[in-house]
Chain A
Amino acid sequence: MANQGPAYYSPYPTATYEGVITPPEGKALLLEEVVEEEKAMREVARVMLTSENATIFPGPQVLYAYNEEASKKATLIKEMAEVLNAKMIPMYDYRPKYPKIDAEVEINPNHPNLTIWHNKIKAAIFIGVHCHYANVALKIVRAETDCYTIAICGLSGHEDAMATLRDQHSSELAKFIKIAREVKSELKL
C-alpha cells in the first residue's frame, strides 16, 4: 500500500501491482511494511482513537450467528467499538443496492465510498467480510476516499488496506481490545 487517498478515482494501481502482498503468517502489514502483530495493533488502535468518525464495518461472517465463533466475535466487536469510541455500520449483504443505498445505515462492497463520503469517515475497520468482497471494497475506498482502512481478517489479510491483521479469531480480538485500552489510556482519551 504505497498511497493513501484519492488515486484518480481508479482502483489501479492496486497494492499487488506495486509488489505488496499479504503478510506472512504471524505478521501484519502497515502500509507496505511487514511488522509484528502487536505493533500493528497499537497503530490501528491509535488511528481509530484519533480519527474523525472512526467506524467499524462488520460483515456477514460476524453479523449472523451461524457458529459459535461468529457469536463470540460479534460480542467482542461490540466491546471493541466501545473501547475505540467507534460507530458501527454493517455490511450485511453483498448485493448492489438499487436504486440507492441508505448510506447512513449500511455499507456495500460495490460502492463503499458512498457510505464513507456521506458519514465523513476518516478511519474504518473491515471485519467479518468475505475476502473477495473486502478486497473489492478496499480498492475502491483507497482510490476514492481519504479514509484509513484497517482489515481485521480471519484468513490471510488484505494488502489494499492500510493496516492488515491476519488470522484474527476471537482470542486475537480479545488481545486487540486489551491493547486498545492501553493505547486509549496512554492518549488520555
Chain B
Amino acid sequence: MSKITDMTATKNWSGQTLVTADHMLFEAPRTKHFMTGSEVLKEAVKRCTVDASVSYPITPQSEAAHLIGELWAEGYVGMYFRGENEFGVMAEVAGCAMAGSRTITTTSGPGTLRAMENFPQWSGTRIPCQLILMARGINSPLTIQPDNLEVTFMLETGCMIWYAENVQELFDMSIAAFIVAEKPDVHVPIVTVVDGFFVSHTRESVMLPEDDIALFPYEPYKSPLPPIDSETPPGRFLRDPFVMKSNYISYATHASWQWEVRSAVERSRPYAEHFLGGLLHETGDLDAEIAFITCGTASHQAKEGQRELAKLGIKSKVIKLRTIRPFPTKELVKSLEGIKHAWVPEFNVVGWLEKEVKTALYGKSDTNIIGGPRVAGGMSLPAEAIIQEVMEVLNPGKGA
C-alpha cells in the first residue's frame, strides 16, 4: 500500500520520484519480469502519475481495468470509478481530461462501438487522454476471440493510433503515449491498441524499471484550449461549448477546426519517432525482394513465416507499423525500395491495414501489394498460411 501524500516538486502523491519520460524509457535500470499484457498495463499506469481512470467491464480488457482499480486502492491513481456503460465511460473520460486530469481507460470490441460518438468528440476538444484498446472484433455473431475489426472504425476519429505487438511494447508505448499526447502542439487523444488475448492474456518476459519512479504530472495549462477551471481565468470567461453553435459560425471554421485536429496528429511524428525509435520497424533479411507489412501480433506471425521461408532459401523481411495515425507513409515507401511483392497479413475480415497501405502507397511505390493472408473471428494465423500465400505468387501452381 502506497502512502498518499501531497504532490511536491520531486515526489508525486504516492511518494514516487518524478522523472522525465526519457529517463523512464531510456535511462532507468530495468529488471526482468514475466507478465500478461493486463498485468504490464497496471505496471505502466503505476509509473505514470495518472489522475483518473474510468472503467467498464468487457472481455478481454476487464482484467486490465480491474488492475488499474487496484492501483487506485493502493494510492497510485488519483480517481477511479465505473461508468454506466462504455458511452458513459468515454464521456466521463472527456470530463476528467477537460478538467486537466491525466486520464486513461480501456475497452474492447463492441464496447468501442457503443462509445463511438465520443472519440471524435475527444479529438475535437483536444484532450490528451489515452484509450487502451484490447481488440477482440465486432459481432455479429458475437465474438470474444482475437480479431481487430474494431480498429477500422477508429481510423478517422482524429485520434492518434499506435499498435503494440507484445507485452514489452504495450508497457513502453502506453507510457510514451501520455507524453506525446500531452505535447502542446499535439494534444489529441491517443489509442494504444493491442490484440486481445494474444497480448492481454499471454505471459511474456518483459523488462521493467523500478516502481519507485513515475512521470511528472500533466500540465493542463499547456493545453491548446483553456482547461475547464471555474476558478482560474482566462478559462472561465472564454470556453465556448465544444459543440459549437453551428448556425453562428462560418463553414470555414468547421473546416479549419477539423483540419487542425488532423494537423495535430501530423505534428506527433517527431515525438513518436523519438519515443518509439521510428514509426515502423524492420526485421529479417533487409536486402530481400519480398516483405510483410504488419501491425500487432500479425507481425509476430509474419516473423515466424520469415524464419520458415529463410529455411527454404527465400529471403524476406517484416515491416511492422508502430503507428497507424499518423500513418508512416514516407517511411514505408523507403522501406519498400527494392521490394517486388509485399503481403499484408491481418486478423480481421475487411483488411483495413491492406486498404491503408494501398491508399498510402498509391502513385508512390511500384511494389505489388497483396492483401492477406487474412483470418477472422478468432482463427489463428499460422506461418504455414503465410508461406502458402507467398509460394502461390513466387511458384504459381506448384504450392509450397
Contact = CB atoms under 8 A, between A and B. Distances in A.
Given A94-B240, A132-B260, A10 B255 contact: yes
B128 interface: no
Nearest to A13: B259
A5 interface: no
Q: Which of A16, A133, A140 has the most CB of B within 10 A?
A: A16
Interface in B235-292: 237-240, 244-245, 247-250, 252-253, 255-257, 259-260, 262-263, 266-267, 269-270
Give the dominant DSSP class at A's interface: loop
Interface stretch (B147-155, B198-206, B219-227): B219-227
Interface stretch (A46-54, A56-64, A169-177, A178-186): A56-64
Contacts of B126: 132
B259 A14 contact: yes
Contact of A130 (B223, B237, B257): B223
Chain A, interface residues (CB within 8 Å), range: 35 or more
A125 interface: no
Contacts, number: 114
B305 to A, nearest CB: 34
30 contacts: A9-B252, A11-B252, A14-B259, A16-B263, A17-B259, A17-B263, A17-B266, A21-B185, A60-B237, A61-B234, A66-B232, A94-B238, A94-B239, A95-B238, A96-B244, A96-B249, A97-B248, A109-B253, A110-B250, A130-B223, A131-B184, A131-B224, A132-B260, A133-B225, A136-B257, A139-B259, A140-B252, A155-B185, A156-B184, A157-B185
Q: Which of A15, A17, A135, A157 has the most CB of B within 10 A?
A: A135
Contacts of A98: 245, 247-248
A160 to B, nearest CB: 8
B233 interface: yes
Given A10-B255, A135-B263, A159-B263, 16 more contacts: A11-B252, A11-B256, A14-B259, A17-B259, A17-B266, A21-B266, A64-B233, A66-B232, A96-B248, A98-B245, A130-B223, A131-B184, A131-B224, A135-B224, A136-B253, A155-B185
A21 B225 contact: no
B228 to A, nearest CB: 13
Interface residues of B, number: 36
Contacts of B232: 66
A143 interface: yes
Contacts of B257: 136
A140 B226 CA distance: 21
Contact of B259 (A12, A21, A66, A113): A12
Interface of B: 126, 183-185, 187, 222-226, 232-234, 237-240, 244-245, 247-250, 252-253, 255-257, 259-260, 262-263, 266-267, 269-270
A137 B253 CA distance: 8
Nearest to B330: A19
B225 A132 contact: yes
Interface of A: 9-12, 14-17, 21-22, 24, 60-61, 63-64, 66, 93-98, 109-111, 113, 130-133, 135-137, 139-140, 143-144, 155-157, 159-160
A132 B98 CA distance: 14
Contact of B253 (A21, A130, A140): A140
Contacts of B223: 130
Contacts of A130: 223-226
A159 B270 CA distance: 15
B260 A14 contact: yes
